[in-house]
Structure 1
Amino acid sequence: MTENSQNRHTVLEERAAVLARMEGFSRFVLRHKLAVTLAWLALTVAGVLATSQIGGRLTAQNAIPGQPSYETNAAIARTYGTGGRGDPLVPVITLPAGRTVDSPGVRAGIGRAFAVAATAVHGRAVSYADTGDRRLVGRDARTTFGLVYGPAGQGGGMRAPDLTGPVTAAMRAALPPGAALRLTGMEPLQSGGGGSGHGPDVLSETLVGGLGALAVLAFVFGSLLALVPLLIAACSILTSFLVVYGLTTVTDVSVIVQFIVALIGLGVAIDYSLLLVTRWREEQAAGHEGDEAVRRAMATAGRAIVFSGGAVAIGLVAMVVLPVPFLRSVGYGGIIIPIVSVVAVLTLLPVLLARFGSRIDRPRLRRGGGAGRGWSAWARGVVRFRWAAVAASGAVLVALAVAALGLHLGDPESDALASSGPAYEGRAALVHSGVPTGVLTPIDVLVPRGGDPAATAARLTRLPGVVTAVAPDTSAWRRDGTALVAVLPAAEGGSAAGKDTVRRVRAAVPAGVGVGGSAAVGVDFAKAVYGAFPLMLTLIAVATFLLLARAFRSLLLPLKAVLLNLLSLAAILGAMVLVWQDGYGSKPIWGIAATGSITEFVPVMVFAFLYGLSMDYEVFILARMREEYDRTGSTRTAVVEGIGRTGRLVTSAALILFLAFASLASAPITELKVFATGLGLGVLLDATVIRALLVPALVSLFGRWNWWLPRWAAWALRVRPARLPPEPVPDPVPAGRP
């Protein structure tokens, strides 16, 4: 027996032992079909009840405890009961022709209007009438603006309650005759334009995604079997909501988790179901029936599903360990859904296939059980032109990754939030009168007991990038010995210049003076999330490498998978920069102009979810390639058969996830649109350029080195080593192929 034959014999012995363990699990499940069915029925019913109650238990708060801005905003909210994390409303008043702010009675009328506005919303306000500051007046002397802060705690989440109606009604009744009022601000702009209206809810978005998934599954299977993955997805999603409901009793859970669980769950559960059902059809085509076909499918596809679920969970660990409760809760939700989906696919799905599979796999408009001719031909072409495939796909990825170097973190600029409506008109009136839009994102300064608010305001007004700083001497702005100063910057808080202004303000105030507001929160959020991100990225990459090294019994395959994943993620960030930050796509598709920046939490969320989701496809493909190599000893056969048998599966799974994310992109929150776009583009790029082109080309180039696992590494991983053959193994053409 040759050395290579001995290696393959050893590999096949170990593989048989692994498959025996998975087959033993499937035998246990199939022996308890009724118990498994009843258990999932109970969980699903409980999930329906939990879903109907969970809305009131989710929070919209986006807190970063321990950060200076968070503590300052919390102190302002406790002491004054107004303001905090959210930006204020900015009423813009335009006086009729022939009248200016210096005309008799105008200043008093403006003061009355802002006073009644503050009373109407139980907040506080500041205007030219309070301060006499001409920098609150436009260059035409007919346009003036002020700030109206709503109750504390209203601006901590993704969307603040709409206060524009009460403020508008109160102010119009008190304004001088003929004066025009337009209410603007970051929140009114966000809710009034750019497709950020009310939009569909979670249920309708999930239904839209489910209908798209059904269309894809009907094409893949050509039979009623297409309904089974949707049933598994429904059970997984509802059970995940049940777990999230329980989680809300011990910690805060963000409202965004309901979108994540519903739409990520739809894609992941169907992905795993596709893999198992496709393998079950192969076993049926090979002549196996009933429980035997299910056990054989579980013995192979089941192991890949376990490793895929593990890869997804590892990617989301980054969000769980971050010191931001909002992201941590999203990470919890993201980890729950793949785990529940894996359990559902490995328990409920085998029972359904054993009981009903053959009966509902009709009318069989598409045959199953073999490698797809088109995908096999594609794989042979990639193997033949592997250098060209690597060069072409690498060029696309590197070009997009370079674009990611221009990524700027921050809230979208105001001109990207609305293109019509009163808020848009109010902003336009400010710009027309020479007022910079940075006044929409003021910086809040809390002066402690014993401080001098007037001196603080005078000092801050002289800083570069500051339009003015006001410290009204009224009870709404001075309480319990403390005082508030509103610093109006020239640049919006989400821009690089706006963040620089925050840093200058912090450097200029004495110790003990707090600096808050949305711009300061953005600075602290980025520091909290991305300060330790390189270390977490390293830990996640190492954990993924070890998981896949054990799964594939190789050092090169997991290393390639991790590096390609990181390159793919960099490319996705570059695509988001081009589509949203630079506006190449956001305007024609959503009617939203270039945002100028990407909201701070979006890149880390895209990384966490795509890292695991894209690894799904890597595991699907490489697991099949490893299986074919163990069977034949031929890298070429492994590539051709691996792609031939998983190409349609991966493409269909990616399309289903893309449709789910496209549905998520219609959500009423602009940040969710950006997030969903990143995920959708990532899934498509990963399934096409990465998995269908670059992966098979690289595996073909690496040849026998793909399958090498030295003794020391095998000992550490607790698997048998795979020695490198002394010479490349001949690559026979797969049976039945020319």
Structure 2
Amino acid sequence: MFERLGAGVYRWRLLVFISSLIGVVLCAIVGFGVIPKLDSGGFNDPGSDSAAVEKILQEDFDSPGADLIVALKGTVSADDLAFAALGKLIADEISALAGVKRVTSYWLTMSPTLKSTDGNGGVLLVTYDPASVVAGSVITDEIRGIIGTVDLGSTAVYLGGSAAVSQAITGQISSDLARSESIAIPLTIILLLIVFGSMVAAGMPLLVGLASILGSFFVLYLLTYLTDVSVFALNLVTGLGLGLGIDYSLLVVSRFREELASGKEVSAAVARTVASAGRTVVFSGLTVALTLAALLFFPQFFLRSFAFGGISVVAFAVFGAVIVLPAVLGLLGPRINLLRIRRSIDKPNRGARWATLAQAIMRRPWPVVIGCTAVLMLLAWPAVGAKYGQIDERALPKSNIAVLDSAAITNNFPGLGRAPIEVMMPGELSAEVIAPYAAALSKVATVEEVDSPAGMFVAGERVGESTGRSTLTSGDTTRLIATSTQRPRSPESEIVIAELRAVPPPISGAQIGGFAAQYTDSQQGILRVLPWALGWVLITVLILLFMFTGSILMPIKAVILNILSLSAAIGVIVWVFQDGHLTWLFGDVNITGTIDTSSVVLTAIVAFGLSMDYEVFLLSRIKEEYDRTGDNTTSVALGLQRSAGIISAAALLLAVNFAAFIPASVTNIKILGLGVTVAILLDATIVRLLLVPAFMRIAGRANWWAPAPLRRLHERFGLSGH
């Protein structure tokens, strides 16, 4: 099948090239418009109780949470007439903006929560209209413009809240993206020139990688009309697009040059290249795409967005390497070696040193297995003490204005940091029904008070009437508001929410929401789905590798080794970003004592998929030699000889593209960059070059064993090249 595909690509090579070029241009024109349409949120579970409570707050109580905090801090009392006039002026101008639903200020409510501890500051809480066609980032920019035109005198203004943090993260990611590309692309060009020794050959993988990125931008742009898409997905698209586009093209170009060097005509070389390297690329891409599809199991669109971007970029990379690149190779022929920078490029790579390494390993496989496993387990050890959290403004650098402003607001207005915990119960309940429940909620550790229609409760006792600051009944819904001393997005607040939910409500249907509950539901949503996602990855990988090799043992071995290298990568992440080691090397990092759960899940699935990439590269050559010779030891040595150079080069190129994310300013991107880079390098060195030959030598002919029914199944439906 693949040989016929290669022959067809060669026959229509000019048409394939021109139509692909037009397609890339169209994707670029449309795709570059995706960035303003992306969202920096997506960490909450839309099917949770907290999401239902948020909807009730918006629809029944007309009380959605504030999107932007505008804090004014002066040198005189906030009650000073001139200061009050300034606050009211800014509030009026913000209220007049399109897309602003409500502005609540200290000067309107005189609420002590909205007044600074020293009395010299006041706060405006700005709520955006979710139904407005005006984007939140545009409204935030307009508010900044208003503040810039007002005569503030000696008054300082701080902007906080989700809108300010979201805008800061989006802006930072856009600048980080440009910076990472400015690092990755020049280094990639240099490495490609070293690997290929020819400027023409080196340019092919880079063009496929860039085209894959543009195609994925186009897909993400279309998806923004159907669903929310996270801005963080851009980093995966660029890293994976360049990396896989280059890896797959490296395999195809190397095989094409090998076929030309053996004396084949260009047409036969293209057909044979697609039949061998093209088949490996398709299978590898299918494995990576199906692994990334596990992210679709999660309810958070932050993780789902990486599935959208990852699967699309893999598809474009495979199409480019298997269809477009062979067409270009057919047009170039021997001219693929033009503009050479070294003379020996048209000689097939003998790789004798890799065969020597494999033979040395297979003479003493057990010491290699024990030593390498010990190294990986040592690196993985910090993961045992991992504490998981969630992103907030601390994902930004400590010097970022959004972080500094948020810290100033927290220090001067501590009441704002205590986000309310919302409790909703169906029905308009009497005080007699509400009071015992409110009293029980107020007994939960770290809960300061519970405001309810039955009064204010502290430590199980009614201490007075409701403050009246918030509407507590609306139609058929009764609302209670609890206040906790814990930071809303923290493991400690997760304990508080669990204890509050453990208090029996007076009627069924009670729901708890607010920022702390959103954090809890998000964490639990990930844990709830994680077994299904992991099950999907394991089952699909085991099935695909069996269909590829016809072996029972090798898929199991591949999964075990991948888990080892992945655990080591997660251990490094915890050691750096949770425990705070080597922070001087990784930039201006906020160490919070936790690591973002979503980022670890993302890193694990991406790294696992890419690890399978190199497993397929290696096994394809080993199986090719085993089918030819029937000798396990010889096939491992020859397979490593033929593929180790490509695997090493591909891993180095992919690692460079992800390592370019490490200098990023957003911690989540740093985690992805460091985690995937470490996983790739460990996998391509310790695992593929050392552990795989050792395990295959120990297993011997059992590597290729399968029960008779499964062997017949593979002979009929297997993804063999014969």
The TM tier, using the shorter chain, reads 0.7 to 0.9
Name 1:150's counterpart in structure 2: 127
Instruction: Please give the alpha-carbon distance, in whole angstroms, between the structure 2 residues aligned to 1:702 and 1:94.
Output: 75
Name 1:360's counterpart in structure 2: 336
Name 1:7's counterpart in structure 2: none
Deviation at 1:36, TM superposition (A): 1.5
Deviation at 1:74, TM superposition (A): 2.6
Give the secondary-structure state (helix, strand or coil) at the position aligned to 2:638. Answer: helix
Shift of the 484–173 alpha-carbon distance from structure 1 to 2, 3 Å rule, reads farther
Give the aligned residue type for 1:498.
S
Shift of the 574–108 alpha-carbon distance from structure 1 to 2, 3 Å rule, reads farther
Give the secondary-structure state (helix, strand or coil) at the position aligned to 1:531. Answer: helix
Instruction: Please give the alpha-carbon distance, in whole angstroms, between the structure 1 residues aligned to 2:494 and 2:82.
Output: 35
Give the secondary-structure state (helix, strand or coil) at the position aligned to 2:47. Answer: coil
Name 1:53's counterpart in structure 2: 33
Instruction: Please give the alpha-carbon distance, in whole angstroms, between the structure 2 residues aligned to 1:187 and 1:247.
Output: 23
Give the aligned residue type for 1:37.
F
Name 2:51's counterpart in structure 1: 70
Shift of the 113–250 alpha-carbon distance from structure 1 to 2, 3 Å rule, reads closer
Equivalent in 578, 583, 595 of residue 580 of structure 2? 583
Equivalent in 213, 225, 233 of residue 188 of structure 2? 213
Does the 8 Å CA contact 2:189/2:202 hold for their aligned counterparts? yes
Give the aligned residue type for 1:287.
G
The reply on whether 1:492 has 2:487 as its aligned counterpart is yes
Give the secondary-structure state (helix, strand or coil) at the position aligned to 1:45. Answer: helix
The reply on whether 1:298 has 2:274 as its aligned counterpart is yes
Give the aligned residue type for 1:524.
D
Instruction: Please give the alpha-carbon distance, in whole angstroms, between the structure 2 residues aligned to 1:252 and 1:292.
Output: 47
Residue-by-residue CA offset, 1:300-337 (whole Å, 9 max, x unaligned): 21221121011101202211233344433431221122
Does the 8 Å CA contact 2:420/2:481 hold for their aligned counterparts? yes
Pairwise CA RMSD of aligned residues?
4.3
Give the aligned residue type for 2:188.
A
Does the 8 Å CA contact 1:108/1:129 hold for their aligned counterparts? no
- More deviation in 159-168 or 485-494? 159-168
Deviation at 1:275, TM superposition (A): 0.8
Name 1:439's counterpart in structure 2: 417
The reply on whether 1:274 has 2:269 as its aligned counterpart is no
Does the 8 Å CA contact 1:467/1:490 hold for their aligned counterparts? yes
Instruction: Please give the alpha-carbon distance, in whole angstroms, between the structure 2 residues aligned to 1:337 and 1:22.
Output: 22
Residue-by-residue CA offset, 1:273-292 (whole Å, 9 max, x unaligned): 11111112222232224122
Does the 8 Å CA contact 1:182/1:422 hold for their aligned counterparts? no
Name 1:349's counterpart in structure 2: 325
Give the aligned residue type for 1:691.
R
Deviation at 1:544, TM superposition (A): 1.2
Does the 8 Å CA contact 1:413/1:595 hold for their aligned counterparts? no
Equivalent in 374, 382, 388 of residue 395 of structure 1? 374
Residue-by-residue CA offset, 1:681-733 (whole Å, 9 max, x unaligned): 22222222222222222122222211223312112334499xxxxxxxxxxxx
The reply on whether 1:450 has 2:428 as its aligned counterpart is yes
Instruction: Please give the alpha-carbon distance, in whole angstroms, between the structure 2 residues aligned to 1:440 and 1:169.
Output: 28
Does the 8 Å CA contact 1:77/1:152 hold for their aligned counterparts? no
Does the 8 Å CA contact 2:547/2:717 hold for their aligned counterparts? no
Shift of the 415–525 alpha-carbon distance from structure 1 to 2, 3 Å rule, reads closer
Instruction: Please give the alpha-carbon distance, in whole angstroms, between the structure 1 residues aligned to 2:272 and 2:337.
Output: 18
Does the 8 Å CA contact 1:371/1:641 hold for their aligned counterparts? no
Equivalent in 355, 368, 371 of residue 350 of structure 2? 371
Deviation at 1:298, TM superposition (A): 2.3
Does the 8 Å CA contact 1:214/1:226 hold for their aligned counterparts? yes
Shift of the 380–441 alpha-carbon distance from structure 1 to 2, 3 Å rule, reads farther
Give the secondary-structure state (helix, strand or coil) at the position aligned to 1:491. Answer: coil
- Structure 1 alignment gaps of length 5 or more: 1-20, 722-738
- More deviation in 557-566 or 507-516? 507-516
Shift of the 228–372 alpha-carbon distance from structure 1 to 2, 3 Å rule, reads same
Instruction: Please give the alpha-carbon distance, in whole angstroms, between the structure 1 residues aligned to 2:582 and 2:166.
Output: 19
Does the 8 Å CA contact 1:128/1:136 hold for their aligned counterparts? no
Name 1:258's counterpart in structure 2: 234
1:451-530 alignment runs, 5 A limit: 462-468=443-449, 473-474=468-469, 487-508=482-503, 514-530=511-527
Shift of the 255–580 alpha-carbon distance from structure 1 to 2, 3 Å rule, reads same
Instruction: Please give the alpha-carbon distance, in whole angstroms, between the structure 1 residues aligned to 2:565 and 2:317.
Output: 25
Equivalent in 204, 224, 229 of residue 228 of structure 1? 204
Instruction: Please give the alpha-carbon distance, in whole angstroms, between the structure 2 residues aligned to 1:34 and 1:570.
Output: 47
Does the 8 Å CA contact 2:173/2:232 hold for their aligned counterparts? no
Give the aligned residue type for 1:302.
G
Instruction: Please give the alpha-carbon distance, in whole angstroms, between the structure 1 residues aligned to 2:266 and 2:148.
Output: 74
Instruction: Please give the alpha-carbon distance, in whole angstroms, between the structure 2 residues aligned to 1:433 and 1:378.
Output: 64
Instruction: Please give the alpha-carbon distance, in whole angstroms, between the structure 2 residues aligned to 1:443 and 1:586.
Output: 35
Instruction: Please give the alpha-carbon distance, in whole angstroms, between the structure 2 residues aligned to 1:172 and 1:45.
Output: 42
Instruction: Please give the alpha-carbon distance, in whole angstroms, between the structure 2 residues aligned to 1:207 and 1:406.
Output: 36
Instruction: Please give the alpha-carbon distance, in whole angstroms, between the structure 2 residues aligned to 1:286 and 1:427.
Output: 65
- More deviation in 413-422 or 355-364? 413-422
Shift of the 266–430 alpha-carbon distance from structure 1 to 2, 3 Å rule, reads closer
Tell me how many residue pairs correspond in the alignment: 687
Give the aligned residue type for 1:213.
T
Residue-by-residue CA offset, 1:628-686 (whole Å, 9 max, x unaligned): 22223333322222222222211221222222223344555432332233222222222
Give the aligned residue type for 2:322.
L
The reply on whether 1:35 has 2:30 as its aligned counterpart is no
Instruction: Please give the alpha-carbon distance, in whole angstroms, between the structure 2 residues aligned to 1:242 and 1:132.
Output: 48
Residue-by-residue CA offset, 1:559-597 (whole Å, 9 max, x unaligned): 111222223323322222112122223453122132322
Shift of the 165–277 alpha-carbon distance from structure 1 to 2, 3 Å rule, reads same
Residue-by-residue CA offset, 1:144-169 (whole Å, 9 max, x unaligned): 887835325599xx997795995998
Deviation at 1:610, TM superposition (A): 1.8
Name 1:564's counterpart in structure 2: 561
Equivalent in 317, 321, 327 of residue 297 of structure 2? 321
Does the 8 Å CA contact 2:424/2:480 hold for their aligned counterparts? yes
1:167-206 alignment runs, 5 A limit: 197=172, 200=175, 202=177, 205-206=180-181
Does the 8 Å CA contact 2:208/2:320 hold for their aligned counterparts? yes
Shift of the 716–143 alpha-carbon distance from structure 1 to 2, 3 Å rule, reads farther
Name 1:709's counterpart in structure 2: 706
The reply on whether 1:26 has 2:21 as its aligned counterpart is no
The reply on whether 1:410 has 2:389 as its aligned counterpart is yes
Deviation at 1:620, TM superposition (A): 0.2
Give the secondary-structure state (helix, strand or coil) at the position aligned to 2:643. Answer: helix
Give the aligned residue type for 1:450.
E
Instruction: Please give the alpha-carbon distance, in whole angstroms, between the structure 2 residues aligned to 1:636 and 1:58.
Output: 52
Instruction: Please give the alpha-carbon distance, in whole angstroms, between the structure 2 residues aligned to 1:341 and 1:213.
Output: 16
1:84-99 alignment runs, 5 A limit: 84=65, 89=69, 91=71
Deviation at 1:124, TM superposition (A): 5.0
Equivalent in 636, 644, 647 of residue 644 of structure 2? 647
Give the secondary-structure state (helix, strand or coil) at the position aligned to 2:216. Answer: helix
Instruction: Please give the alpha-carbon distance, in whole angstroms, between the structure 1 residues aligned to 2:445 and 2:149.
Output: 35
Does the 8 Å CA contact 1:313/1:338 hold for their aligned counterparts? yes
Instruction: Please give the alpha-carbon distance, in whole angstroms, between the structure 2 residues aligned to 1:188 and 1:369.
Output: 57
Name 2:460's counterpart in structure 1: none
Name 2:596's counterpart in structure 1: 599
Name 1:312's counterpart in structure 2: 288
Equivalent in 601, 605, 609 of residue 608 of structure 1? 605
Shift of the 392–583 alpha-carbon distance from structure 1 to 2, 3 Å rule, reads same
Shift of the 586–630 alpha-carbon distance from structure 1 to 2, 3 Å rule, reads same
Shift of the 90–693 alpha-carbon distance from structure 1 to 2, 3 Å rule, reads farther
Does the 8 Å CA contact 1:667/1:673 hold for their aligned counterparts? yes
Deviation at 1:513, TM superposition (A): 5.1
